[in-house]
Amino acid sequence: MTPEEIFDLLLPYSDERRTEFENGKRLAHYTSAAAAYQILTNQEVWLRNASMMNDFSEIQHGIDCLGAAWRSRGGKQLREMLDRIEPGLSERIARLFDSNSFILQQNTFIVSLSEHDDNEDDYGRLSMWRAYGGSSGVALILNPTAFLSDTDEMKVFSAPVLYKSEVQFVEWFQDWATAVGKAEKELKGLGAETINNWIFGVFRIFALSTKHPGFSEEKEWRVFHSPDYEGASPWVRSEIEIIKGIPQKIVKLKLFDDPNKSIMGVAPSRLVNRVIIGPCDYPLQVRDTIVAALEKAEVEDAANKVTISLIPLKHA
């Protein structure tokens, strides 16, 4: 088993859902017309602090699920395996995660996307318009190339959301721990320090991307960056912006390709597959401005890639 195969074993649901992109699955970013216009014209997307999300308790839910799983039968099984590899390794990992839980919530920056099905091309998804469209909603439909890359040069990572209650997560974790335990020999060959870092990294993803099953209709993916862990790259910078009257630190992710670093499909010309104008007061005017922004971003055949959704929805 190669190191890559071992890491895929540690994140099985992520690997399975990435495979769907190879079969044509796309992602959508539901946002306001103003934000969509800025993304295209500035060729950057803003990642907001996890504590400023619609429901900041989402990250706490993931941490709580992981804590319950660590204390469960599956957690005991995992801890025993880790301590067979190196005595005290499980305690090292626990201390590392506990000491970083505050950073996970207070210094992680996220932008949310949603899996997009072909049958949503004309109208988008009603529940997403209700949640994120407001009175001028736009959905940017994105090609998956950038999300299939194996490079970490951008220092920005993505993961699908795992929709589980605490009880469901503990049950799922039992199966996960059993599967990981079957690779004990291969894990031991990596060395304790690598295992320590990999398990912490996987637990971090579990915490950041586990959400209550009541939100499963969103089919969310999260793109995240943590300055404390990832460090700097030409693609990310932190700045202070005022959003809805609140000054706050955000991370700006620049959208450009660099073939020399195996970064392709990030620039809007390759990233944007189509755009859906959602329910709004002035759909024709919004469409005209979005088409202009697409043309400025060198998206080919821009006018034919913008659809006005006629989905019936009253907005406030």
Structure confidence by residue, pLDDT tens digits, 14-52: 877 878 777 778 999 999 999 999 999 999 999 999 888
pLDDT at 226 over 60: yes
State the average pLDDT over residues 231-236. 91
Say which residue, 245 or 5, is predicted with more confidence.
Answer: 245
Using only the alpha carbons of the chain, give its radius of gyration.
21
User: pTM for this structure?
Assistant: 0.91
How many CA atoms lie less than 13 Å away from 82 in the CB half-sphere? Answer: 24
Query: What is the rounded CA–CA span in Å between residue 308 and residue 274?
Result: 11
pLDDT at 316: 52
* Residue 125, φ and ψ in degrees, nearest 5: -115, 125
Lowest mean pLDDT among 72-86, 127-141, 151-165, 298-312: 127-141
Mean pLDDT of the chain: 91
pLDDT at residue 150, as a whole number: 67
Query: CB burial class (10 A; 0-12, 13-18, 19+) of residue 98?
Result: exposed
Residue 313 — very low, low, confident or very high, per pLDDT cuts 50/70/90? low
Could you give the CA distance from residue 162 to residue 168 in angstroms, rounded to a whole number?
A: 10
Supply the DSSP symbol for 87: T
313 vs 283, higher pLDDT: 283
- What tokens does 3 get? 């190191």
pLDDT of residue 310: 80
**pLDDT on residue 2:** 76
| Higher-confidence position of 279 and 42 | 42
> Given CA atoms 52, 55, 57, 61 in this order, what sign does their dihedral have?
negative
Residue 55 above 70 pLDDT?
no
Bridge partner residues of 246 (DSSP): 243
Mean of pLDDT values over 135-149: 89
DSSP 125: -
Please name the residue that has the structure tokens 């990572």. Answer: 157
pLDDT at 74 over 70: yes
**Amino acid at position 249, single letter:** K
Higher pLDDT, 102 or 54: 102
